Every structure is written in structure tokens, then in C-alpha cells.
Amino acid sequence: MPGGAERPRPRGYHGRAVKRYHVTTFGCQMNAHDSERIKGMLEELGLGEAPDQAEADVLVFNTCTIREKPDQRFAAHLAQARALKERNEGTVIAVGGCYAEAQRERLFELYPFVDVAFGPGTIPHLGDWLGAGGDGVARAQFGIAEERSFAGTLPMHRERRFQGWVQVSMGCNSKCAYCIVPRVRGREVSRRPGDIVAEVTRLAGEGVREITLLGQNVNSWGRDLAPDLRTDFGELLRATDAVDGIARIRFTSPHPKDFRDPVIAALADCDAVCEHVHLPLQSGATRILKAMRRTYDRDRYLRLVDKLRAAVPDLALGTDIIVGFPGETEDDFAETLAVVEEVRYDSAYTFVFSPRAGTEAATMPDPVPEDVKRDRIERLIELVQRIAAERNADRIGRVEQVLVEGASRTDASLLRGRTRRNTTVNFAGSVRPGDLVDVRIEAATSTTLKGTEAALVAA
């Protein structure tokens, strides 16, 4: 910029200058994917992306409400946004996603300075509201019934060049006692197979090498389709595997109850489907699983793990575990530890139970005291990390295929990528992002591997 020239001040949305947006995302991959659609939609409206919240005219928060923690983080962000708006009157504050949907009755009461709100199924409302300059369009539109639409039909702003998310369904028909998702994302609706395969084909044409199929309960996909389209998730894996140019397929999150044999057979048969399954356990105690309404028990889960491992050699397993569900005794918790020991997960997300208003578990008797929950999660994390470190150490000396993502986050002289088993690898090499390369593994921690490009080792 020429010396002394003042940077033009952003004039805020109602000032009608060229506008810039900033999207802050909380929560799961589905939300991250929705945010890419929100960005694509705003760019189609002529807005550019601002590097941070302070420089944006339109501040969007795509929220999560799975536990209390994201609610609290969002509240802190919103306080900052309010301060920005006080300085620059025309700033628009938009709140979307799961928290917005869960708080639809109270949102504007709690946060009167929020201009516009929408739920996970009503993203286009933000575009309608902004397109009309906020005039004559309702401040909020929510909806988990007919008004919902797939974010997958909106334009997309992809954050990663070689990896893409593809939404296969929205909503969830399960009734897990702890979970708010069915309330905020509604009943399950599957996207048509032709639309999914067309999107995968388009992504492959744009150079994407790895896709992740996304659904709240991804492997129950297809059951609600019209009779002439009815199929199952295994068939969908086979159809995406057949798309030229896609080297890797991942999917998240499957429900153990829906992991039927045809899906397992597809995992074994499809070359592009990675040797990694995220299989939420939630609890290792049958009694607690029943109270959670997970509809499988400890033995059925373990049998499924055996089947998966028999079908896919060298399979990596990840999981989600909740400690401190109402009524969980020390014996129940010991069963969770025992399952973790038995399965030997490669990775696990661990959560302290957080009561969510409107879920069945929020009003269950026998809450577990905070200090007991803390003690249990610490013991669980210790075990999970010990096993993950051992599992990764076992990989030292092997050669693994890595999809290169960019420079290492911790050491700029190294590259970073991910194995088919979904472990991050930092490695010395001379390849470029998007390349698939063999890397010899030389060191390991509980979460990452370190190595050298195999061609360099051989040279």
C-alpha cells in the first residue's frame, strides 16, 4: 500500500461496500463441511473471506452443542463479536448450527445483538437474509422437518485441495440417551446415490485424492430411499471405489448396530477404502450401553471387532468413549477399561458425560460426582495413550503409504501427511502436497509417526 495511505475502513454490511465474511466453526466434521458450504454460499453472494474476525463485516458462527464445553467456547466468542460490533455498527453477527437450533426459542433473548440465525438444515436462510440486506426476511429460520435441505447442494469453498468431504445423509434416527443430535439435525434422510457419486466424480476431476463420506450414522445410509433406489452403504462404498482418481475413501461415523456383513465385505473388497474404522464404543458395560440405548451389548461389539479384523488385515480402530454416564459404577467403568485393553484401539476420543437439556439422560437419576468423573477420565486417557503409543511403536520399521498434506506443523523442514490407517506422519522427503508416497517409519508417539521417504532411504 502506498506510504501514508489509509486503509479503507470496512463499512459494515448495511454500508453496502464490498463485504468480507469470517466463519468460526465448532464441533464435528459435519459442521466443518457445512462451513465450507456456508463460505461457498457467501462467496457466491460476492463476499470475500476476511483473515480474522476483526476485519470481517459478516461474522458467522457455526455452532455445536454436543457437550457443555462448546457452548461455553461459543459464548466467549460471541462476547468478542459483540465488542467488535460496538466498534463497527454495521457488522452483521450470524449464528448457525446445532446450538442455534437447540436454542431456537431463546437465542435472540440471550443474545439480542445477533442479527440472523439458522440451523444445520437451514443454511440457505443466511444467504436469503444477506441477499435481501436483512430487509423483509425473517431473522431466523430453523427446521428439522420438511424445510431442511442438504448442504451438499450449495456451492463449496474447499479448505483442502486433495481431500474432500461428501455428505451422504442428514439427521439420525437413533435414540442414544445422551445425545442432542437427533433433536437438532432431525430424522435421517439419505442423499440419492446418483447425487453422491456425481459429487465424488466431480471432486476427483478437481484433483481430490481422498474423500470422507459423512453421515451422523453413515452406515445406515440408504434405508429410507424410495424402493427403486434402495441399496445399502456397502454398495455406496463400491460405487465410490469405482470412481477414477479417488485413491482413498474414509467414512464417519458408523454405528456398530448397523455394521452389517455386506458393508464389511465392501471394506475388504474395495482397494480405495482405507484400513481404518472409527467404531464408537461409548461404554464397555452392557448395563450402561442399555441405559444409553445403544442397542448392542459388550459381546456383540467385540464380535464385530473380530469380524472387522478378520476381513481387513492390519485394520486401525478408533473409538468414542463417555465416562460418568448416570448410574455408572466403578465396576461398569472397569468393564470399559477392560474392553479398551482387549480391543487395543489406535486412537480414542474420550468424553466426560455432559447432560444436555432435552435428552433422556439429562434427567436420569444417579449422576456421577464431578471428582469421580475426572478420576475416571484420567485413568481412561492414560490407558488409551499407553496402548496407542504401543500400537504406533509396532509400526517402526514398516513402510506406509502417506498422502502428503503440506509442511509439518512442528518442524518446517519436514513434510506432513497421513497413512491409510489415519495416523499423522512427519517425514523427510521431496514430494508435494497431494502426492502418495511410501514412507519408512522410524519413530512414534501415541498420536504421530516420524519417518523418511522410502525412495530416499533406498537411495
* By CB under 6 A, residue 47 contacts ligand SF4: no
- Return the number of the residue (47 or 102) whose C-beta is nearest ligand SF4: 102
31 is in the binding site of which of ligand SF4, ligand 5AD, none (Cβ under 5 to 8 A by kind)? ligand SF4
Out of 322, 377, 441, 444, name the contact with ligand 5AD by CB under 6 A: 322
User: Does the protein bind ligand 5AD through residue 178 (CB under 6 A)?
Assistant: yes
The answer to whether residues 426 and 448 touch, using CB atoms and an 8 Å cutoff, is yes
CA distances from 411 to 159, 426, 431 (A): 22, 8, 16
Residues between 84 and 103 with contacts to ligand SF4, criterion CB under 6 A: 97-98
Choices 24-32, 129-137, 297-305, 420-428 (CB under 6 A): range interacting with ligand SF4? 24-32
Q: Is 165 in the site for ligand 5AD (CB under 6 A)?
A: no
Using rule CB under 6 A, residue 256 touches ligand 5AD = no
**Residue of 47, 58, 66, 403 that binds ligand SF4 (CB under 6 A):** 66
Which residue of 356, 373, 391, 420 would you call a contact of ligand 5AD, by CB under 6 A? 356
Q: Kindly state the smallest distance separating residue 27's Cβ from ligand SF4, in Å.
A: 3
DSSP conformation letters of 138-161: -SEE--SSTT---GGGS----S-S
Instruction: Give the separation between CA 390 and CA 396, rounded to whole angstroms.
Output: 10
Binding track, positions 59-88, relative to ligand 5AD; x by CB under 6 A:
-------xx---------------------
Distances from the Cα of 456 to the Cα of 394, 410, 448, 453, angstroms: 22, 21, 21, 5
Residue 27 within binding range of ligand SF4, rule CB under 6 A: yes
Q: What share of the chain is helix, strand, coil (3-state, %, to 5)?
A: 40, 20, 40
What does the radius of gyration of the chain's CA atoms come to, in whole angstroms?
Answer: 23
- Contact status, residue 144 vs residue 119, Cβ threshold 8 Å: yes
In sequence order, which ranges of 20-67 are alpha helices (DSSP H)?
29-44
**What's the closest the beta carbon of residue 113 comes to ligand SF4, in angstroms?**
23
| Beta-carbon contacts of residue 202 (< 8 Å; ≥ 6 apart) | none
Q: Could you say whether residue 351 binds ligand 5AD (CB under 6 A)?
A: yes
Cell numbers for 13, please give them. Answer: 454490511
Residue at grid coordinates 453421515: 215
User: Least Å distance between CB 396 and ligand SF4?
Assistant: 34
Measured between its terminal Cα atoms, the distance across the chain in Å is 48
Cell of 286: 452392557
Distances (CA, A) of 270 to 193, 217, 243, 341: 17, 21, 11, 29
Instruction: Give the nearest distance from C-beta 354 to ligand 5AD in angstroms.
Output: 4
181 binds ligand SF4 (CB under 6 A): yes
Measured from the CB atom, the residue of 98 and 437 that comes closer to ligand 5AD is 98
In the complex, the smallest distance separating the C-beta of residue 345 from ligand SF4, rounded to whole angstroms, is 20
Site for ligand 5AD in 266-295 (CB under 6 A): 280, 282
Three-state DSSP at 311 gives helix
Residue 360 as a binder of ligand 5AD (CB under 6 A): the answer is no
Q: Which of 24, 65, 240, 347 binds ligand SF4 (CB under 6 A)?
A: 65
30 near ligand SF4, rule: CB under 6 A: yes
Q: Helix or strand or coil: residue 400?
A: strand
The sign of the torsion formed by the CA atoms of 382, 384, 386, 392 equals: negative
Distance CA 387, CA 265 (A): 28
Residue 97 or residue 234: which is nearer to ligand SF4 going by CB?
A: 97
Q: SS3 sequence, 209-246?
A: CEEEEECCCHHHCCCCCCHHHCCCHHHHHHHHHCCCCC
7-15, 57-65, 186-194, 348-356 -> range binding ligand 5AD (CB under 6 A) = 348-356
Q: Footprint of ligand SF4 on this chain (CB under 6 A)?
A: 27-28, 30-31, 64-66, 97-98, 180-181, 185
Question: Applying CB under 6 A, which residues contact ligand 5AD?
Answer: 66-67, 178-179, 280, 282, 320, 322, 351, 353-354, 356
